[in-house]
Amino acid sequence: MAEKSILILISGRGSNMEAILEARLPARIAAVISNEPQAKGLATARAHGITTSVVPHRDFPDRAAFDAALASAIDVHQPDLVVLAGFMRILTDNFVARYAGRLMNIHPSLLPAFPGLQTHRHALAAGVRIHGCTVHFVTPALDGGPIIVQAAVPVQPGDSEETLAARVLREEHRIYPQAIRWFCEGRLALAANGKAVVQSARAPENVLVCPAVER
């Protein structure tokens, strides 16, 4: 199987990007692109010897113009997969359609619960006992694409948004590289019913991660 090429989009420190870079995936990281010139993750990517570039969203009159410029910057590298790793922009339907089936995101909640922003605040306000994160394919519906893998964490008495976010982030760093690995190995597919299916995944040993993270 030919080696896959991955392009990563970031807006900030890029901790999920760093987890991906350190996972030794069977893939080539073609580039890291940010919409924020001061994103700390750009320096991290360069330290790994990865090509970086910036497409500042504030330089464009509207979302469609920015997305068109971003797509042009992406297509230079001809990636097999585009990975959103803390990329804080809502993408237009045309952009999403351009990369249908090869645009992946991680969201800090157990979707479909708590889409959008401030997920940890909403989880605490709702009084849920289990919270977590979800890797999914991106579709025009905000945080509504086919779910690939989820990990759950307990909500502890006395949790703040910060302590809960840190617990969830540890799981994000675990399951995002796994989802990308499945894609690179040709084991992740979209079924006719629109759901994401992982081929030949091990039975979950830990019910709080499904499908199981492989080692």
Q: What is the pLDDT of residues 51-85, one digit of tens each?
A: 999 999 999 999 999 999 999 999 999 999 999 99
Same domain, 92 and 165: no
User: What CATH number did the domain enclosing 51 receive?
Assistant: 3.40.50.170
Amino acid at 168: V
Q: Is the separation of the CB atoms in 72 and 31 below 8 Å?
A: no
What count of Cα atoms within 13 Å lies in the side-chain half-sphere of residue 178? Answer: 21
Are 141 and 183 within one domain? yes
Tally the C-alpha atoms within 13 A of residue 109's C-alpha that lie toward its C-beta. 19
Q: Which of 57, 107, 131, 136 is catalytic?
A: 107
What would the pLDDT profile of 116-134 be if each residue is shown by its tens digit?
999 999 999 999 999 999 9
Indicate whether 95 and 115 sit together in one domain: no
As a whole number of angstroms, the distance between CA 147 and CA 157 comes to 29
User: What's the one-letter identity of residue 1?
Assistant: M
Show the domain range for 174: 108-215
pLDDT at 93: 97
**Are residue 89 and residue 138 in the same domain, yes or no?**
no
131 is catalytic: no
Residue 112, token pair as written in the block: 């479909």
Q: What is the pTM of this model?
A: 0.94
